[in-house]
Amino acid sequence: MDRFSPNRISFVSSGTPEADVAAEALRNRYGDVGFENAEVIVALGGDGLMLQTLHQVMDRRVPVYGMNFGSVGFLMNEFGADKLVGRLKAAKPTDIYPLKMTVTDANGDKHEALALNEVSLFRASYQAVKLEILVDGHTRLAELICDGALVSTPAGSTAYNLSAHGPILPIDAPLLALTPISPFRPRRWRGAILNNHAVVTFRTLEAAKRPVSAVADNVEFKNVIETVVREDRERKVTLLFDPGTSLEERVLSEQFRY
């Protein structure tokens, strides 16, 4: 049986009225086997819904095809109700490997979370934070005074990383972007590009006075003392894009916007 036959599709909606109406119409037309039984998920919404859905299917390795009902829709295809099965068959896959964040909080407890876009550290008070940054166990920056810092995947390099003036990475590049958020000292440090095997450790300095929160996509931990970030090659998600609109092409085009 064809992998993308109609009886193997499930539709999810962001919950907006427009997306809900479209999802119901598609279910009536193509059927819906349910989220747990699907071999392909069609997500109707914006990039937020796409990230949420990818996290849900990560351990099942079910591909996700998005149709845009959001504002930006960088990870989505254009909406169209016709010939959906044919579009799914012709779609080009893009694999993304998540970042694994391991944090130690002020109580000594450890927590883990995965991020498809970025792991970010933020100041949790009115004061700037002070961070020591280590790469593969070696201190590379003894003290960064800033609002925060982030480590981004290539897929996430056009999101918050770009807004923080970080580099755009080609989608298939074995790289990670390490980017400061509003750095104060050293003022001229703008971050680093690392290989995807690098292990980045952030140590919070003066943690009681300058508390830090760590966030993996939308999972947050507070009062963080140490945050370790590395790529998790044992997990991956697969996005599907219409021919000519691949994520690689979108990332490339983003570099020529002005």
Which positions are annotated as active-site residues? 47
**How many whole angstroms separate alpha carbon 164 and alpha carbon 159?**
9
**How many whole angstroms separate alpha carbon 78 and alpha carbon 223?**
41
**How many whole angstroms separate alpha carbon 148 and alpha carbon 4?**
43
Beta-strand ranges (E) seen in 98-223 are 99-105, 110-115, 118-123, 129-135, 138-146, 148-152, 175-181, 192-195, 200-205, 212-216, 219-221
Token pair 């800033």 is at which residue?
146
**How many whole angstroms separate alpha carbon 79 and alpha carbon 12?**
14
Give first-to-last CA distance, the chain, whole Å: 47
Report the Cα 2 to chain-centroid distance in Å: 30
Tokens standing for residue 203 = 């140590």
